[in-house]
């Protein structure tokens, strides 16, 4: 029997951002709790069931917030600059935290 496996693309969030010229924004909240920071790509929203939804990651550190954001957008479709002439839709690969860009 022949088996053909087609794995999903995987990438670090850094490599993905660089490939698509995206800027990560990390904000500190005025009230410091367990989620002191939140992170997201500037001018990006997630396309979900025909709507655009603002998504961000929370964390005690900037790195934690970025990692959570990566998990939340992993495998999703994001829209950069919605409603503008330079709008682009991007399929997000599975975001991994180590090992660099795995493929594509």
- Is pLDDT at 6 greater than 70 in this prediction? yes
C-alpha–C-alpha distance, residues 60 and 32, integer Å: 9
- The tally of domains found in the chain comes to 1
Q: Is residue 63 part of a domain?
A: yes
Q: Is residue 17 part of a domain?
A: yes
Which residue segment(s) compose the domain that 56 sits in? 10-96
C-alpha–C-alpha distance, residues 50 and 14, integer Å: 27
Q: What is the pLDDT of residues 51-95, one digit of tens each?
A: 999 999 999 999 999 999 999 999 999 999 999 999 999 999 999
Q: Is residue 76 part of a domain?
A: yes
23-33: burial string, b at 16+ Cβ within 10 Å, e else: ebebeeeeeee
């Amino acid at each position: 029997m022949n088996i053909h496996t087609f794995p999903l693309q995987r990438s670090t969030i850094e490599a993905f951002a660089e490939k698509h010229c995206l800027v990560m924004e990390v904000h500190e909240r005025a009230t410091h709790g367990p989620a002191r920071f939140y992170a997201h790509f500037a001018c990006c929203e997630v396309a979900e069931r025909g709507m655009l939804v603002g998504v961000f990651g929370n964390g005690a550190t900037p790195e934690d917030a970025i990692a959570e954001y990566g998990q939340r957008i992993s495998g999703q479709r994001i829209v950069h600059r919605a409603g503008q002439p330079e709008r682009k839709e991007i399929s997000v690969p599975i975001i991994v935290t180590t090992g660099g860009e795995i493929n594509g």
